[in-house]
Structure 1
Amino acid sequence: MTSIRLGLVGVGKIARDQHLPSIAATAGIELVATASRSAGADGVASYRSLGEMLAGTELDAVALCTPPQVRHGMALEALEAGKHVLLEKPPGATLSEIDDLVAASGKTGVTLFATWHSRFSAATEPARRWLEGRTVERAEIVWKEDVRRWHPGQDWIWEPGGLGVFDPGINALSIATRILPEPFFLTGGELDTPENRQAPIAARLAFTDRNGLDLTADFDWRQKGPQTWDITAETSDGGRLHLSEGGKRLVIDGETVVTSEDAEYRDIYEHFVRLVREHRSDVDVSPLRHVADAFMLGRRCRTEPFHDDENAA
């Protein structure tokens, strides 16, 4: 079949590191244009805006890799132009605007795909299958990394809608909502927010489910040295699951079951191709709903100012 002609909006770090090589390695889809104020990709048409790209190049689909605060208008523009749309995570700044995009997608009959890249890690589905049918009594998420390493100079992540430490934390929640057998909900939390920022740099959350699950999450953007992306779960029959390295490694009852290199974004684009071919959409907002609940229910704790330059006063 003819390859899906894709235009990519926002040629930043995540696009260069993950999207561009993954698109190039995926059958059935071809990058034909980019839209960005300051960057492009070799060998394809380059535009300054989505509108210019839609007017200047024949496209079947659009991938949006912009900050979430500006994504709704762009996604709506593409959907109303009859283009399939892939959304980087998080899919939007609010739950309501995503509902609006789902309605627009249904009206125009095109695919809308809200991606959660950590769900495509090698260990996520094996973890889900092992936990299926079991009762999880206790679970712990520890997700700690260095914001200066992963988001250097990106001020948008500290603004309203940028999520702060929930930008990586939502990856953990996307795995947890996929693998845990029962839906869970927030019971309380604390959000550490730097004095000079609008979004938290750390968060500690507590969740439960209808069976009394004891689930905690510890997110922190101040981690130095090795980065920590772990989820553990203990079941009523004594079984223990440990998912680490952001979903690349799975250990069950002390035995390594999965260990794999990163192929998340290639799998994302393979799934997008299938969705388009099958005339389906895939939009799950449960990870973002948990973040919204944390902002609603979490206690604010002011902490020291954050500067991109560690030596700044």
Structure 2
Amino acid sequence: MSGGGGDGGRRAMIPVALVGIGKIARDQHVPAIAADPDFELVAAVSRRGTVEGVAQFTDIDGFLADGPEAAVSLCVPPSVRTEMALKALAAGRDVMLEKPTAATLGEVEAMREAARATGATLFATWHSREAPGVAAARDWLGRRRITSASIVWKEDVRRWHPGQAWIWEPAGFGVFDPGINALSILTAILPGAFRVEAATLVFPANRQTPVAARASLRGTGGYPVSVDLDWLQRGPQTWDISVETDGGRLVLSEGGARLTIDGAEQLREAEREYPRLYRRFADLIHARESDVDVSPLRIVADAFLIGRREYGEPFVD
């Protein structure tokens, strides 16, 4: 629906509507769209939030019926995202999905089929894959034999999701909401599939999703991967992925912004994850292609399927 060529080899501007005007939309999506020469924000869809200077709608139905013809970027929680995506895709709109892609793998398949049926572009984003050190880490690891890997991803939910009740409800993912960022990097820098051998999920006594998780994975070739996720860390936050190889130890820290090999810093840059996501979305729209990778979501689903449940203290926001 969107895209197309332009005079003199220039690409046509893509109108886009932002659905769900919350913290991530304001902090990341709005400025990324404003800075991208391929996109023009033309509408905002939210029950409460607004964006100055664009058409406003309170629901996806009203936007699709009466709003401008535009691609759709969905920033709503996964529990309601799929239904909105299916409506937009049925209308022939190109769709970009925040992470995690959906609440279930079945929902992803439904969206894929809807995109195929109308020829729309569907882009399931994993913003942490666009961290500065990820591509360099993938290239370095691709020339070496992996012997083990570990993820330590610990942050403060009260700092990053203050008062957000949906994260504690079914389909809210709990600690896997940030933890899936680490898994998206793992599956980007290391080839092959990962299977979950064991997992322990720790639930607050008064919540439906876990506040901490530990898991043991096995990568292609048989090497082990340990995963340690915690949502109650105060002070400095920890976002580290370490990989042991036959040629040394690689560490991606600060969520992928810093890369070290055997302790020597190779790269450290400010993140530009969302501008890179919108650059990719534009490329997909103009090529009339989709990009939907469920490998991080599959690991989370498997951890929930086979994981042991433990219950801890009630969570107080």
- Give the TM-score band, short-chain normalised: over 0.9
Please state if 1:114 is matched with 2:124.
yes
CA distance in 1, matches of 2:116, 2:189: 28
Match of 2:204 in 1: 194
8 Å contact kept, 2:152–2:239: yes
The answer as to whether partners of 2:191 and 2:220 remain within 8 angstroms in 1 is no
* Structure 2: distance between partners of 1:207 and 1:279: 35
Match of 2:93 in 1: 83
Q: Is 1:117–1:265's contact at 8 Å kept on the other side of the alignment?
A: yes
Structure 2 length-normalised TM: 0.95
- In 2, Cα distance between the equivalents of 1:189 and 1:98? 24
Is 1:179 the counterpart of 2:201 in the alignment?
no
2:297 pairs with one of 272, 288, 296: 288
SS in 1 for 2:255: coil
Corresponding residue number in structure 1 for 2:82: 72
- Kindly report the root-mean-square deviation, in angstroms, between the aligned alpha carbons of the 2 structures: 0.9
Q: How many residues align?
A: 307
Alpha-carbon displacement from aligned partner over 1:236-280 (angstroms, at most 9, x marks no partner): 23x110000001010112221111111000000000000000011
| Equivalent AA in structure 2 for residue 208 of structure 1 | R
Compute the displacement of 1:210 (Å).
4.0
Match of 1:18 in 2: 28
> 2: distance between equivalents of 1:224 and 1:200?
17
Answer whether contact 2:19 2:72 (CA < 8 A) is retained. yes
Q: How far does residue 212 in structure 1 lie from its aligned partner after superposition?
A: 2.1
1:274 & 1:266 partners in 2: Cα distance?
13
Query: In the alignment, residue 139 of structure 1 is paired with which amino acid?
Result: A
Partner of 1:28: 38
CA distance in 2: counterparts of 1:294 and 1:259, whole angstroms: 32
Q: How does 1:1-313 map to 2 (within 5 A)?
A: 1-237=11-247, 239-308=248-317
Deviation for aligned residue 1:55: 2.1
Residues 46-55 or 226-235, more deviating = 46-55
SS for the counterpart of 2:69 is coil
Is the CA contact 1:27–1:270 (under 8 Å) kept in the aligned structure 2? no
Conserved? CA contact 2:152–2:228, under 8 Å: yes
Identical positions, percent? 55
Question: Which AA in structure 1 matches 2:147?
Answer: E
Question: Structure 1: 5+ residue runs without aligned partners?
Answer: 309-313
SS at match of 2:85: helix
Q: Give 4+ residue runs of structure 1 displaced > 6 Å after superposition.
A: none
* Mapped partners of 1:143, 1:209: distance in 2: 19
Following superposition, the deviation at residue 27 of structure 1 comes to: 1.4
Q: Is there any run of 5+ residues in structure 2 with no aligned partner, and where? A: 1-10
Q: Distance in 1 between matches of 2:176 and 2:68?
A: 36
Counterpart contact for 2:192–2:219, Cα < 8 Å: yes
SS at match of 1:246: helix
Does the aligned pair in 1 maintain the 2:43–2:68 contact within 8 Å? no
Contact 1:133 1:181 in 2 (8 A): no
CA distance in 2, matches of 1:279, 1:188: 40
* Range that drifts further, 102-111 or 176-185: 176-185
SS in structure 2 opposite 1:96? helix
Q: Which amino acid aligns with 2:282?
A: V
Deviations 1:120-172 (A, max 9, x none): 11111110111113221111100000000000111110111110000000000
Which secondary structure does the structure 2 equivalent of 1:281 belong to?
A: coil
